[in-house]
């Protein structure tokens, strides 16, 4: 079955304070980048407007100079970009969602990597904005508020279901780290966008044929196989 990156969730809207928030005297969201000068990459794979950190992380991780990042290379590229703690499962999910629809291999080219980078930066900004106690995790209230301000008024039952998926079985209160928030956030946003295509009147109801339903859901779960 061929999948399309039309399933890839678009980046969420940024908090109003995205560019302006400061942390320890430094801009917390350094990837809110508006180019004032042009850069060139040694590989020539990126446009001059591309953030130099994107180019650097891609080229340093592309060990075989193939022009593509495979799973282990993407993990290294994200590490170089400051995204530590991203699980193998989430890495695989991101690759599956953002890979070129015309490529049969699970890999990302420069275009797809730029799209992923920008989306990750915006999800990071959302996470930091609603992690109010700054403990690096999101509790149920913070998660509810984050989804609410993204425009998703999820029922309590759905929020509870999301949290149970990340229960480690220790009996402790479930809190989501950035990796878990990113995973569930992209799934919620992506499935909601697909649902809206079948609910043009925004009624909250849709009649969906079985095959359409399967095509909506499978791209979000197949990468976990």
Would you say residue 31 lies in a domain? yes
Q: What angle do CA 113, 14, 37 make, to 5 degrees?
A: 55
Instruction: State residue 36's pLDDT score.
Output: 39
Decide if 71 is inside a domain: yes
Query: So what's the pLDDT on residue 14?
Result: 55
User: In this structure, is residue 169 part of a structural domain?
Assistant: yes
User: Residue 122: inside a domain, yes or no?
Assistant: yes
Ramachandran class of 46: left when φ > 0, alpha when ψ lies in -120 to 50, beta otherwise? beta
The CATH number assigned to the domain holding 139 equals 1.10.238.10
Is residue 212 in some structural domain?
yes
Which residue is associated with the tokens 């109003």? Answer: 16
Structural domain boundaries enclosing 201 = 27-220
Q: What is the pLDDT of residue 13?
A: 62
Enumerate residues 6+ apart whose C-beta is below 8 A from 188: 147, 152, 154, 162
Q: How many domains does the chain have?
A: 1
pLDDT tens by residue, the chain, 225 residues: 333 444 455 556 655 544 444 444 333 333 333 343 444 455 578 888 888 899 999 999 999 999 999 999 999 999 998 888 888 888 988 888 888 888 888 899 999 999 999 989 989 999 999 999 999 999 999 999 999 988 888 999 999 998 888 888 887 888 999 999 998 988 888 888 889 889 989 898 999 999 999 988 887 776 554
- 206 assigned to some structural domain: yes
Residue 131 pLDDT: 94
In a domain, 170, yes or no: yes
> Which of helix, strand or coil describes residue 13?
coil
Q: CA 9: distance to chain centroid?
A: 8
Asked if residue 7 is part of any domain, the answer here is no
Rounded to whole angstroms, the Cα distance separating 74 from 51 reads 17
Give me the pLDDT at residue 31, please.
36
Of residues 123, 140, 113, 127, the one with CA closest to residue 46: 113
Cα pseudo-dihedral 82, 87, 88, 93, rounded to 10: -90
């Amino acid at each position: 079955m061929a999948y399309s990156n039309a399933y890839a969730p678009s980046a969420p809207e940024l908090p109003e304070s995205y560019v302006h928030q400061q942390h320890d005297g430094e801009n917390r969201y350094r990837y809110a980048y508006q180019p004032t000068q042009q850069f060139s990459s040694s590989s020539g794979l990126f446009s001059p407007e591309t953030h130099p950190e994107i180019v650097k992380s891609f080229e340093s991780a592309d060990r075989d100079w193939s022009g593509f990042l495979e799973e282990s290379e993407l993990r290294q590229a994200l590490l170089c970009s400051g995204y530590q703690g991203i699980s193998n499962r989430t890495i695989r999910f991101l690759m599956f969602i953002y890979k070129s629809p015309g490529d049969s291999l699970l890999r990302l080219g420069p275009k797809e990597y730029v799209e992923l980078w920008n989306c990750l930066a915006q999800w990071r900004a959302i996470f930091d904005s609603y992690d109010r106690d700054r403990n690096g995790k999101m509790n149920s209230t913070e998660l509810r508020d984050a989804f609410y301000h993204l425009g998703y008024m999820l029922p309590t039952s759905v929020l509870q279901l999301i949290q149970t998926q990340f229960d480690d079985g220790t009996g402790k209160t479930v809190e989501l780290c950035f990796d878990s928030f990113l995973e569930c956030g992209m799934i919620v946003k992506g499935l909601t966008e697909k649902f809206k295509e079948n609910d043009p009147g925004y009624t909250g109801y849709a009649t969906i044929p079985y095959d359409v339903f399967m095509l909506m859901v499978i791209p979000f779960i197949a990468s976990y196989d």
